[in-house]
Structure 1
Amino acid sequence: MNNNVIDAVEKTYQTLNCTGAALIFYQNNDLKIEKYWGNHSAKGNSRAIQADTKFHLASCRKSYIAYAVAYALHKDFLRSLDDEILQYLPYSQQLEVYKGTTIRHLVTHSHGLNDSSEAVIREFDAGTSWAYRGINVEIISQIIQHTTKRTIADILQKEVFSPLGFKETNWYNTFDETFVEVIGKDTNPHWSASQIIDGSKMNMYASAREFAKWGLVHLNEGNHDGRQLFDPEIIRIATKIQSPQYSNQDLPENGIFWFVKGTQASKSEIGEAVPNGAYQILGYTTVTLLVIPSEKIVAVRMFNSYGNPKGYDYLRDVKDFGNVIVQCLK
C-alpha cells in the first residue's frame, strides 16, 4: 500500500511546477508514511523539505475558519446556519445585495455573490447553485469578529493551536528559513500576499506534520493524546453535510467549507472510491487533507506550487489521491 500512495504523490510532484512536496499518512492513529521530496525553492543551496517545513495552505485555511464558525455556532454567538447574514453584520458592512443570503449559503459556496472590480454582484439566487468565490471568507470573517469580538486567528490560537501545542501553523507576515517559496505566485493574478494576520486573509502556512495532526483531531472528534481538547459537536458541525438541497444533484457537497462525501455527485472533489462520510479540504497550492472516518485514515499531501501547469487536471488528480488510498486497502 505505502508504495502506491507514495508513487501517486511523487507523480503529482513531478507534474506540478514546484520544487518540494510532503506526504503524511495515518491509519488507526498510527503514522504509516512520512516522506519529503525536494527543496524549499529552485535557488542553489536551498533548504531541503523536512518535518518543520511550512507550506502555504491557500484555501486549506478554510478548515480552520470552519472551526471558528462551528465554535461560534456551538457557543451561541451565531444562532443558526439559516440566519440571514444581515443580522450579524455591522450596519456599515450591510449591502442590499446580501438580502436572502444565510450563513449556510456562505459556508457551502451556495451564496451566489461575487466581488467584481466595482461592486458586489449576485451571480445566482442564494441556495440554488454552487460557485467557489472568495467573498464568502471575507464576509464570514467580518461576522465572526463582530459577533464574538475576537478574530478568527485569536479563536484558533487560544482554542486550538495552544492546546495542541502547534508551533508550525498560523497566519504569518514574517518569514524565516522554514517557509517554502511559493512557486508560480509572481506570475499568477490570483496571488494576494497580506500583512494582515487576523485569519481573514490567505497568508496561512503549516507544516505537513501539524496539518496531519489537525486531521487527526478531527478524526478523533476533538480528542488528542487521550485528552478531550474541545467539544466533539464542534467537529461534527463542521464536517457533516450542510449544503442546501440543490436541483442539480451533481454539485459538490459541503460541510462548513469542508468538502464532504455523501453521494457520487460528479462535481465532488472527493474520489469516487472514497466511502461516504469522508471529508476533504484542498487549496490552489494542491495541498490536500483527506479524512476517512470509516477507515480511520488521515492523509496529507503538500506542494509549494501555486496554480496548475497546462494540461494538468486538478480535479482528476485530487480525486485520484483519495482513490489510490482506498484501492490500496482492498
Structure 2
Amino acid sequence: MQEIINYVEDIKKRNHSSASALLIMKDNKVVLEHYNGFHSNVSHSQPVSETSQFNVASARKSYLGLAIAYALYEGKINSLDDYAIEYFEEFDKELLEKTTLRHLVTHSHGLHEKEDGTIFREFEPGQSWAYRGINVLMMTKLIRKLYQKSFPELIKERVFQPLGFRETDWYTKPNDNLVQVIDQPEKVATYKLGKSMDGLESNLHASTREFALWGNLHLNKGLVNGKQIVPQKVIELAIQVQNPFYLDDQLPHNGLFWYVQDQPRLKSEVGERVPKGSFQILGITGPTILVIPKYNLVVAKMYNKRYNYGGANYLHYLREFSNLVADTFKQTHEGNGNNSGRQIHKRNG
C-alpha cells in the first residue's frame, strides 16, 4: 500500500495542496490511515489529523443522490423517467421539453446557465454528457419541495444520527477542525463556508474517517453492524447505472450522481482496470471515495486544493489512481499480495 501513499503525496506536492489524507477500509476494517500537511498554506497552521474536516466540494452530490433514492423508494418521485417539467413548473416548458429526472441525475440533461442566470440548452437531453451545476441545484430544491425539509436535514435524520456521525456537516462558521481551501498557490487559503445549511452551497465538510464510512455504508448496501440503517433498495438505486443509452459509448456512466463502472470507458473518471460494479465520487478540491465491491474495499482520500488535478489532465490522474488501487488489491484478492494489517501514518511538513 506504500505505492498508494506515495501517489497521494506526489499529487499533493505537484498541485500545491497543503493537506492530504488517505484512509483505506478492507472487509469493513480500517487497514490504513495516512495524514500529512496542514490546514492552511500559512505558517503555524494546524497539522492535519483524524479529526480534520475537509471541504468535500461537489462530492456532496453523493449525499443528495441518497436523498433522491429515498424519494424514489418512498414514492415521492414516481419514476426517473418522469418529465422534469412535472416537478419544475417554474421552468420554461419548451426549454425542459423531453428532459427527464433521469437526465438531471446523470449529467445528460444538456442544460447550462450563464453568469446572468439565463438558462440555455447545450445539447438535446440524453444525447451527450456534461458536468454542470444547474441539475444539482434543481434536485436539491426538489428534495426540499417533496419532504418539506432540506436534503441535509433528511440525511442527518436517516443516516448521520443512526451512525453517530459527528464530523460531517454543512458549516456556516469556521472552527479549528475545518481545513481551509487553496484557490491559487500564491494566495492564502480560505474557509469555504455557506450562508445556510440547506445543501445549495458547497459547504459540506467531513473527516476522512466519516467520508470513508459513507462509502462503506454504500458498499454494504445500508447494513452496518448487523443493522439495516438504510434500506438495501435505496442504496441500490443510488449506485446502479441509471443513465440513458449514449451513442458515444465512451461517455461516463452514472448512478444517482455516482460514477459507476459497468465496463471501461475512456471518458470515465474510473480507470479501465477497476472491476465492474465499482463506483466513485469526487470533488473539485480533491476528495474522492472509490468503492470496489469485488475486493470489499473503500478508499477515501482528501486534499484542499481547488482544481487539484489541473485542467485537462484531471481524468488521467483520477484514472491512474483508481487503477493503482485496483492493481494493488487485485494481488491481495488473489492471494499474491501482503496485507499486513492496520497502518497509521501521521506526517507533517
* Same topology, TM > 0.5: yes
- Supply the AA of the counterpart residue of 1:299: V
SS in 2 for 1:291: strand
The residue aligned with 2:111 is 113
TM-superposition CA deviations, 1:28-83 (whole Å, max 9, x none)? 11211101011101222211100110101111100100000001000110000000
The residue aligned with 1:272 is 272
Structure 2 CA distance for partners of 1:308 and 1:208, relative to 1, 3 Å: closer
More displaced, 195-204 or 302-311?
A: 302-311
The question of whether the paired residues in 1 share the 8 Å contact of 2:173 and 2:193 is answered with no
- Whole-Å separation in 2 of the counterparts to 1:97 and 1:192: 33
The question of whether the paired residues in 2 share the 8 Å contact of 1:88 and 1:147 is answered with no
**Do structure 1's residue 46 and structure 2's residue 37 form an aligned pair?**
no
The residue aligned with 1:96 is 94
- Whole-Å separation in 2 of the counterparts to 1:11 and 1:226: 39
Percent of pairs with identical residues: 38
The question of whether the paired residues in 1 share the 8 Å contact of 2:107 and 2:131 is answered with yes
Structure 2 CA distance for partners of 1:57 and 1:309, relative to 1, 3 Å: closer
The residue aligned with 2:299 is 299
Pairwise CA distance, 1:121: 0.1
Structure 2 CA distance for partners of 1:268 and 1:73, relative to 1, 3 Å: same
The question of whether the paired residues in 2 share the 8 Å contact of 1:81 and 1:103 is answered with yes
- Whole-Å separation in 1 of the counterparts to 2:129 and 2:33: 35
Pairwise CA distance, 1:141: 1.2
The residue aligned with 1:75 is 74
Structure 2 CA distance for partners of 1:94 and 1:318, relative to 1, 3 Å: same
The question of whether the paired residues in 1 share the 8 Å contact of 2:171 and 2:193 is answered with no
Pairwise CA distance, 1:308: 4.0
Structure 2 CA distance for partners of 1:95 and 1:142, relative to 1, 3 Å: farther
- Supply the AA of the counterpart residue of 1:99: E
Pairwise CA distance, 1:142: 1.6
Tell me the TM-score normalized by structure 1. 0.94
Pairwise CA distance, 1:205: 0.7
- Whole-Å separation in 2 of the counterparts to 1:66 and 1:303: 23
The residue aligned with 2:346 is none
- Supply the AA of the counterpart residue of 2:12: Y
The question of whether the paired residues in 2 share the 8 Å contact of 1:105 and 1:127 is answered with yes
Gaps in structure 2 of 5+ consecutive residues: 332-349
Pairwise CA distance, 1:94: 5.3
Matches of residues 135-284 of structure 1 in structure 2 within 5 Å? 135-184=134-183, 194-284=194-284
- Whole-Å separation in 2 of the counterparts to 1:92 and 1:243: 25
- Whole-Å separation in 1 of the counterparts to 2:137 and 2:93: 14
Matches of residues 9-48 of structure 1 in structure 2 within 5 Å? 9-48=8-47
Gaps in structure 1 of 5+ consecutive residues: none
Structure 2 CA distance for partners of 1:197 and 1:95, relative to 1, 3 Å: farther
Tell me the TM-score normalized by structure 2. 0.89
Quote the RMSD (CA, aligned, Å): 1.9
The question of whether the paired residues in 2 share the 8 Å contact of 1:88 and 1:146 is answered with no
The residue aligned with 1:315 is 315
The question of whether the paired residues in 2 share the 8 Å contact of 1:58 and 1:284 is answered with yes
More displaced, 275-284 or 196-205?
A: 196-205
- Whole-Å separation in 1 of the counterparts to 2:193 and 2:214: 24
